[in-house]
Amino acid sequence: MCGRICCSLDADTLCCACGYKDTDGKQHKLTWANNELKYNPSYNMCPQDVLPCIMSGSHFGREKEEKVLCAMIWGMIPPWHQGNYKDRSNNISTHNSRLENIKTSTVYSPSLKNQQRCIVVCEGFYEWKPSINNKLQKQPYYIYTTQDKDIKADDSTTWANEFSETDGWKGLKLLKLAGLFGIHKNEEGKTIYSCTIITRESNKILSWLHHRMPVCLSNEEECQVWLSKDLSIDAAIKRLNDMVLQENALTWHPVSTIVNNGNNKTIDCRKRIKLKEISQASFMTSWLQKGSAASNKRKSTDDKDINSEEEKKKIRKEN
């Protein structure tokens, strides 16, 4: 599963970090698509925040080989939703979508049919490990792409972050997660983009931490294929199922429980800690914050949290 994300690079730097090589071997920076939403860097992005996503330029009338960045709400707006996208009383949790269900899901299958595939880019994501007896507070970890020697994922002073048309991006290696996006027209007729991160059963790399994990795209070829409009629905799903993540592809470290509170968005969220640094005081602070937020917490079962009877009927068709 994936419920919190870190992406602290500013919008211009992100264009360089997501650069790609064309068929002639030339490196290209990405550009941002015109959008009603704006990406704001954050060390602790939550569902309903705005994420940076890569998509095919063909969705904006450009060449299909071109890639663009697009700011999207994290959490797919259901196709049947009407009115203000911020008024989503249905409480369907759509920030993650199960790979096993996307083809039959009433929420995600329209995006598949319309070839609305995207890549969520980030520096890393957070996951929580339960205690052995489930009585103590869960321990959060920060998971990210394994970096080159001397580059520390939690210390931006170690990042070179340079781009050239010959060598491309030389800096922090980003995570690229397979996703789907939806297109919503609000009451003013403006287009709002929203996305979901596709998850699968965890492999042996992360199974110790959680039973599910995002589908990570390992290289430029996998990214290019996933975004291609020439890929059929069945071929796209098979492609994700067949992907094998190398054992050394991901790295992680424990972080402070301050990340538990979505209002905490400082650099300390991703800072490496020693587990013994978790004091009783910080435990109590986080516990109180968790308790105060519990009454407003939405139910979360990947893509199946429903309040209204009408939506229950729609989601039952997925099972």
The CA distance from 46 to 231, in Å, is 31
Give the β-pairing of 168-170 and 42-45: unpaired
Q: Where are the beta strands (DSSP E) in 49-146?
A: 50-56, 67-74, 96-98, 117-122, 124-129, 139-145
The CA distance from 251 to 249, in Å, is 7
The CA distance from 107 to 127, in Å, is 25
Classify residue 172 by its DSSP letter: P
Closest CA to 196 of 112, 108, 109, 115: 108
Paired tokens of 210: 């959680």
Paired tokens of 84: 């203000």
The residues that are catalytic are 2, 127
The CA distance from 183 to 185, in Å, is 7
Three-state secondary-structure class, residue 244: coil
Chain position carrying tokens 């972080």: 255
Three-state secondary-structure class, residue 5: strand
Provide the residue type at 234 as one letter.
D
Provide the residue type at 176 as one letter.
K
Three-state secondary-structure class, residue 13: helix
